[in-house]
């Protein structure tokens, strides 16, 4: 009696498993046929700063339509992490970081070809909070006073470095001994420590913004483009741009790239083509 | 276990699935609202026209690109909000801070500085729809259109609704306090721009400029006959779900299944081999090897991933060799398999070793006196007798491999369609703002894990029943001591203790 039922149950389970597997197989079939229909022999692998995610996806889609060049799954990570991935042996054709410092590292370590380095975009730093928080005109001093909980990027996140530079001007961040006595633009915003506040550190600027959106923290320091990227947060304060280094996104072709020519063409297209400009201005990136 | 038990279990399963589904649905519905960027103040003059978003008498399409006011002689389409522009030269000349609009002339445009907004109404538009840009009525319509559309597209940044001072113009160049706003400018052939520059040709966004202004954003749109406005209604409920499932990228499921199915073969063979091997060496060596085989289970997966990366990365001879032979181990789909094998292997190893140890040694000795080879003993005696535990261990290891995250992320990264497994997809979809997709995968994983655990439970209850029938009075004391081989009893007791190899919590 029980045994028969058991067999039935097991059969049900097996059928369910088969269904799941079939779903996976058909989905995969769909994918592979879709990718093979877009005929092109060049596929570019891009490593881009996390903040670029939505804008770059849209730009790539347009570029594929215009030229047939396709793109492998673009990695949107903190710029420091992109360098680590290149160091660990992952392949990329183009690297776009969110600060000059991280690109300098990539040049130094020989990950990218310096002659192709192009300053692509600029951005702004803002203070955001969860939408509807009713905060207004929050300043760096307000943050330094410790009234609010704060989330910023960690050392590998350029947005976190910029935030640290800005906070150092109000005494809320102490640079490491090698940069003692300096503040703002003159420090790297790495390896120091926060004074009087204990911000939550996140591994990408996207995560930083998410923490504010979820209301886990009162405030987060992110790029103005992140506000449009996610929604759900609102700008409650502007950070004066003379308190931190200029926010510039350099892009360069990687040394190991097998498609260096095509990669360079894409970088140039991003900064010169009007249709590309339309996409980047929609997502809040000034062309540099 | 009787029929009623089975029915109860089935009922429980269905209930749990419904619970999971009901938990998921509101979240999904909520996520749609979010995606569509619901308007802040829908109360003001809302006409309550069904599902449509109506603000201040303006009905806005769910895609946020077109709008209609009933009774107005024109509607709006192709709305586009530029959060930023460019300070670069167009062609070879510096034009000031510019926005690219498109390939068509005669666009309605609004450029906002936060303090004031300049609205440009092309003469052609006024003629086509029979209104004058300086009439109060037309300005009111334009303001309502732009504020409603801008609110949908602003997403938390500066809103046009907060701008107090408005200038309307039909001239292509319009000056406000030493700053010239230029509209509908064909700066390159067939390319129309709007740009802002000082009266003296200076850069108004530069800090050095005394007339410096902050250009916050710009809105562009086209006026069209009301009949041409395409108001797309927001899809809700089942229609939305259908659309969601149809446009979903299922590659993480495929990657996960491929990874776990390949990994489980390795785990099965290696786990059994390791269990058999440790049983046949001296107790001291046994404890050392046991520690080595078990340690991936207690180490954080990130440690496993990090060590694997150090071992197989490009900077090591091993990793370099694999790259040279065209089989790179890091950031490839092989890496997901390696990570899954390393992390799930100890479960297989421990469970099967427990099962082997609980076999009656007398029986194995008896087989040896009959002249059976070790190989034959393993395949004909040990495997069949311990099969129940081994099968359960395989399922458990499979489930662990399915949920692997830390080591996979370290070693394999996150490449869609290649190494993005479901657990990694959940994290990254959330991070990229696609909460609904993250919720979908979460539900899939919960259901999948639930089925796996149910399967183990049903499986072990079957073996329990078998034991009860064979040996009803047998005490279960021996079960609590999985380590020590059981000396008394014959074949029956060996079978009876089959499921002793299962981890504590999974025993019936």
Closest alpha carbon to A227 in A95, A131, A83, A113: A131
Mutate to test the interface with B, among A12, A28, A83, A202 (most CBs of B within 10 A): A28
Task: Give Cβ neighbours of residue A138 (< 8 Å, ≥ 6 apart).
Answer: A127, A129, A148, A219, A236, A237
Mark whether A130 and A148 lie in a shared domain. yes
Q: What local confidence, expressed as pLDDT, does residue B341 receive?
A: 93
CATH code of the domain containing A58: 3.40.190.10
Indicate whether A27 belongs to any domain. Answer: no
Q: What local confidence, expressed as pLDDT, does residue A180 receive?
A: 83
Partner-chain contact A1 B88, CB within 8 Å: no
Higher pLDDT, A21 or A96: A96
Task: With cut-offs at 50, 70 and 90, classify the pLDDT of residue B346.
Answer: very high
Mark whether A232 and A281 lie in a shared domain. no
Give A20's contacts in chain B (Cβ within 8 Å): 253, 257, 448
Mark whether A73 and A172 lie in a shared domain. no
Task: With cut-offs at 50, 70 and 90, classify the pLDDT of residue B468.
Answer: low
- Which 186-215 residues of chain A touch chain B by CB within 8 A? 204, 206-207, 210
pLDDT, tens digit (0-9, with 9 covering 90-100), for B217-268:
999 999 999 888 888 777 777 888 888 888 888 889 999 999 999 999 999 9
B448 close contact with A: CB closer than 8 A: yes
What are the beta bridge partners of residue B218? B82, B111
Mark whether A138 and A117 lie in a shared domain. no
Partner-chain contact B250 A280, CB within 8 Å: no
Closest CA–CA distance from residue B176 to any residue of chain A (Å): 23
B406 close contact with A: CB closer than 8 A: no
Nearest CA in chain A to B4: A2
Tell which CATH classification among 3.40.50.1240, 1.20.1250.20, 3.30.1490.20, 1.10.3720.10 matches the domain B250-506: 1.10.3720.10
pLDDT, tens digit (0-9, with 9 covering 90-100), for A148-189:
999 999 999 999 999 999 999 998 999 998 888 888 888 988
Partner-chain contact A17 B451, CB within 8 Å: yes
Closest CA–CA distance from residue B409 to any residue of chain A (Å): 11
The mean of the pLDDT values for chain B is 79
Indicate whether A13 belongs to any domain. Answer: no
Partner-chain contact A2 B330, CB within 8 Å: no
What's the total number of domains in chain A? 2
Partner-chain contact B2 A10, CB within 8 Å: no
Mark whether A143 and A224 lie in a shared domain. yes
**Cβ contact A44:A94 at 8 Å:** yes
Mark whether A141 and A233 lie in a shared domain. yes
pTM of the model: 0.75
> In this structure, which long-range contacts are made by residues B432-439, counting pairs with CB atoms below 8 Å and at least 24 apart in sequence?
B432/A53, B432/A54, B432/A76, B432/A206, B433/A206, B433/A210, B433/A229, B433/A230, B433/A231, B435/B27, B435/B31, B435/B34, B436/B27, B436/B28, B436/B31, B436/B32, B436/B35, B436/B244, B437/B248, B439/B24, B439/B27, B439/B28, B439/B31
Residue from the list A89, A206, A283 with its beta carbon closest to the beta carbon of B314: A89
Q: What is the mean pLDDT of residues B428-451?
A: 88
**Cβ count within 10 A of residue A272:** 12
Indicate the range of B87-91, B283-287, B402-406, B463-467 predicted with least confidence: B463-467
What sign results for the dihedral spanned by CA atoms A96, A97, A99, A104? negative
Partner-chain contact A2 B2, CB within 8 Å: yes
- Is the confidence at residue B127, as pLDDT, over 70? yes
Mutate to test the interface with A, among B186, B258, B422, B433 (most CBs of A within 10 A): B433
Rounded to 5 degrees, φ, ψ at B323 are: -65, -40
Closest alpha carbon to A143 in A217, A216, A213: A217
- Is the confidence at residue B389, as pLDDT, over 60? yes
Partner-chain contact A287 B80, CB within 8 Å: no
Residue from the list B249, B313, B432 with its beta carbon closest to the beta carbon of A206: B432
Nearest CA in chain B to A272: B90
- Which 182-241 residues of chain B touch chain A by CB within 8 A? 188, 191
Residue from the list B83, B314, B418 with its beta carbon closest to the beta carbon of A281: B83
**Cβ count within 10 A of residue B135:** 12
Q: Which helix (H) or strand (E) holds B431?
A: helix B422-431
- Is the confidence at residue B283, as pLDDT, over 80? yes
Give the CA-trace dihedral at B360, B363, B369, B371, to 10 degrees: -110
Rounded to 5 degrees, φ, ψ at A92 are: -150, 150
Mark whether A155 and A231 lie in a shared domain. yes
Indicate whether A87 belongs to any domain. Answer: yes
Rounded to 5 degrees, φ, ψ at B3 are: -60, -45
Partner-chain contact B462 A6, CB within 8 Å: yes
Instruction: Output the six-digit token pair for A129.
Output: 């909070």
- Structural domain containing residue A277: 43-122+249-287
Alpha carbons B209 and B199: distance in angstroms, whole number: 12
Q: Which helix (H) or strand (E) holds B269?
A: helix B251-279
| Ranges of each domain in chain B | 63-236, 250-506
Give B188's contacts in chain A (Cβ within 8 Å): 274
CA distances from B157 to A227, A238, B63, B105 (A): 6, 11, 18, 28
Alpha carbons B174 and A257: distance in angstroms, whole number: 49
Closest CA–CA distance from residue A175 to any residue of chain B (Å): 27
Mark whether A140 and A85 lie in a shared domain. no
pLDDT, tens digit (0-9, with 9 covering 90-100), for B50-107:
345 677 788 888 888 888 888 888 999 899 999 888 888 888 888 889 999 988 888 9
Q: Is A163 exposed, middle or buried (0-12, 13-18, 19+ CB in 10 A)?
A: buried
Alpha carbons B362 and B380: distance in angstroms, whole number: 16
Alpha carbons B182 and B218: distance in angstroms, whole number: 12
**Cβ contact A119:A97 at 8 Å:** no
- Which 87-116 residues of chain A touch chain B by CB within 8 A? 87-91
**Cβ contact B82:B200 at 8 Å:** no
**Cβ contact B354:B464 at 8 Å:** no
Mark whether A108 and A146 lie in a shared domain. no
Alpha carbons B419 and B335: distance in angstroms, whole number: 8
B157 close contact with A: CB closer than 8 A: yes
Mark whether A253 and A184 lie in a shared domain. no
Partner-chain contact A286 B420, CB within 8 Å: no
Per DSSP, chain A holds a count of helices (H) and strands (E) of: 10, 15
HEC readout, B42-61: CCCCCCCCCCCEEECCEEEC
Give me the total of CB pairs closer than 8 Å, taking one residue from chain A and one from chain B: 160
B420 close contact with A: CB closer than 8 A: yes
- Is the confidence at residue B496, as pLDDT, over 60? no
In 3-state terms, what secondary structure has residue B230? coil
CA geometry: angle at B399 spanning B398 and B401, to 5°?
65
**Cβ count within 10 A of residue A45:** 21
Partner-chain contact A283 B431, CB within 8 Å: no
- Which 25-44 residues of chain A touch chain B by CB within 8 A? 25, 27-28, 30-31
**Cβ contact B395:B260 at 8 Å:** no
What sign results for the dihedral spanned by CA atoms A101, B214, A224, B96? negative
Mark whether A76 and A118 lie in a shared domain. yes
Q: Which helix (H) or strand (E) holds A27?
A: helix A2-37
- DSSP string spanning B296-352? HHHS-HHHHHHHHHHHHSTTSHHHHHHHHTT---TTSHHHHHHHHHHHHHHHHHHHH
Task: With cut-offs at 50, 70 and 90, classify the pLDDT of residue A14.
Answer: low
Residue from the list B10, B319, B465 with its beta carbon closest to the beta carbon of A2: B465
Closest CA–CA distance from residue B434 to any residue of chain A (Å): 9
Rounded to 5 degrees, φ, ψ at A115 are: -65, -20
**Cβ contact A163:A125 at 8 Å:** yes
Alpha carbons A169 and A140: distance in angstroms, whole number: 9
Partner-chain contact A206 B155, CB within 8 Å: no
Partner-chain contact A277 B37, CB within 8 Å: no
Closest CA–CA distance from residue B467 to any residue of chain A (Å): 14
Indicate whether A36 belongs to any domain. Answer: no
Give B433's contacts in chain A (Cβ within 8 Å): 206, 210, 229-231
Alpha carbons A278 and B5: distance in angstroms, whole number: 64
Q: What local confidence, expressed as pLDDT, does residue B458 receive?
A: 85
Partner-chain contact B253 A24, CB within 8 Å: yes
Rounded to 5 degrees, φ, ψ at B283 are: -55, -35
Partner-chain contact B83 A25, CB within 8 Å: no
CA distances from B506 to B4, B49, B396, B467, B500 (A): 22, 56, 10, 17, 10
**Cβ contact B68:B58 at 8 Å:** yes
Rounded to 5 degrees, φ, ψ at B76 are: -120, 135
Give A21's contacts in chain B (Cβ within 8 Å): 257
Q: Which helix (H) or strand (E) holds A79?
A: helix A79-88
Closest alpha carbon to B500 in B481, B474, B473, B472: B481
Mark whether A116 and A130 lie in a shared domain. no
Higher pLDDT, B12 or A58: A58
């Amino acid at each position: 009696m029980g045994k028969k039922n058991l067999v039935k149950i097991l059969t049900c389970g097996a059928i369910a498993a088969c269904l799941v597997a079939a779903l996976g197989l058909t989905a995969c079939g769909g994918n592979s046929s879709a990718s093979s229909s877009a005929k092109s022999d060049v596929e570019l692998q891009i490593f881009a700063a996390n903040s670029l995610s939505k804008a770059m996806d849209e730009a790539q889609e347009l570029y594929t339509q215009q030229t047939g060049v396709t793109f492998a799954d673009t990695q949107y990570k903190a710029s420091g992490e992109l360098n680590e991935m290149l160091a660990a042996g992952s392949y990329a054709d183009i690297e776009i970081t969110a600060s000059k410092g991280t690109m300098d590292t990539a040049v130094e370590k020989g990950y990218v070809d310096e002659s192709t380095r192009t300053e692509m975009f600029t951005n702004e730093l803002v203070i955001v909070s969860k939408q509807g928080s009713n905060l207004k005109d929050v300043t760096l001093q307000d943050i330094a006073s410790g009234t609010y909980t704060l989330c910023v990027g960690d050392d590998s996140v350029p947005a976190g470095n910029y935030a640290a530079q800005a906070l150092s001007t109000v005494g809320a961040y102490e640079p490491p001994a090698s940069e003692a006595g300096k503040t703002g633009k003159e420090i790297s915003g790495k390896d120091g420590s926060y004074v009087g506040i204990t911000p939550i550190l996140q591994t990408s600027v996207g995560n930083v913004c998410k923490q504010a959106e979820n209301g886990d923290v009162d405030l987060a320091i992110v790029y103005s483009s992140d506000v449009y990227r996610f929604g759900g947060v609102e700008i409650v304060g502007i950070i004066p741009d003379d308190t931190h280094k200029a926010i510039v996104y350099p892009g360069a072709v990687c040394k190991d790239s097998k498609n260096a020519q095509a990669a360079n063409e894409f970088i140039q297209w991003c900064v010169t083509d009007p249709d590309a400009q339309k996409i980047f201005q929609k997502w809040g990136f000034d062309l540099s | 276990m009787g029929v009623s038990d089975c029915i109860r279990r089935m009922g429980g399963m269905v209930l749990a699935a419904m619970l999971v589904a009901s938990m998921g649905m509101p979240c999904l519905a909520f996520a749609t609202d979010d995606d569509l960027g619901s308007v802040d103040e829908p109360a003001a003059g809302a006409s309550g026209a069904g599902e449509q978003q109506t603000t201040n008498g303006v009905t806005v399409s769910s895609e946020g690109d077109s709008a209609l006011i009933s009774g107005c002689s024109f509607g709006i389409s192709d709305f586009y909000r530029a959060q930023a522009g460019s300070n670069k030269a167009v062609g070879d000349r510096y034009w000031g801070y510019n926005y690219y609009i498109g390939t068509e002339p005669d666009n309605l445009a609004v450029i906002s500085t936060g303090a004031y907004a300049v609205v440009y109404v092309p003469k052609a538009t006024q003629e086509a729809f029979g209104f004058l840009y300086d009439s109060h009525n037309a300005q009111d319509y334009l303001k309502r259109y732009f504020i409603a559309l801008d609110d949908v597209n602003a997403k938390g940044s500066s809103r046009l609704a907060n701008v107090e001072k408005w200038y309307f113009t039909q001239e292509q160049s319009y000056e406000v306090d030493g700053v010239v706003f230029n509209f509908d400018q064909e700066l390159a052939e067939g390319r129309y721009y709007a740009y802002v520059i000082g009266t003296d040709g200076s850069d108004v966004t530069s800090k050095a400029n005394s007339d410096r202004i902050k250009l916050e954003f710009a809105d562009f749109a086209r006026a069209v006959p009301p009949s041409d406005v395409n108001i797309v209604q927001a899809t809700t409920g089942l229609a939305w779900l259908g659309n969601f499932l149809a446009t979903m990228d299922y590659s993480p499921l495929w990657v996960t299944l491929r990874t776990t199915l390949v990994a489980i073969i390795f785990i099965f063979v290696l786990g059994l081999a390791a269990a058999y091997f440790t049983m046949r060496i001296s107790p001291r060596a046994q404890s050392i090897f046991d520690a080595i085989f078990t340690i991936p289970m207690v180490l954080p997966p990130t440690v496993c991933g990090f060590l694997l990366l150090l071992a197989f990365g490009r900077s090591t001879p091993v990793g370099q060799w694999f790259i040279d032979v065209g089989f790179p181990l890091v950031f490839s789909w092989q890496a997901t398999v390696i990570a899954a094998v390393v992390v799930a292997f100890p479960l297989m190893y421990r469970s099967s070793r427990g099962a082997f140890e609980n076999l009656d040694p007398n029986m194995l000795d008896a087989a040896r006196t009959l002249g059976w080879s070790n190989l034959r003993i393993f395949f004909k005696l040990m495997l069949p007798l311990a099969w129940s535990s081994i099968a359960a261990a395989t399922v458990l290891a499979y489930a662990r491999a399915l949920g692997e995250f830390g080591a996979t992320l370290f070693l394999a990264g996150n490449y869609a369609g290649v190494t993005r497994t479901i657990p990694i997809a959940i994290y990254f979809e959330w991070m990229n703002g696609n909460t609904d997709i993250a919720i979908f995968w979460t539900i899939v994983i919960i259901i999948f894990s639930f089925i796996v655990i149910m399967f183990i439970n049903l499986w072990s209850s079957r073996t329990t029943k078998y034991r009860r029938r064979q040996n009803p009075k047998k005490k279960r004391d021996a079960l609590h001591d999985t380590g020590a081989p059981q000396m008394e009893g014959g074949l029956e007791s060996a079978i009876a203790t089959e499921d002793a190899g299962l981890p504590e919590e999974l025993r019936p």
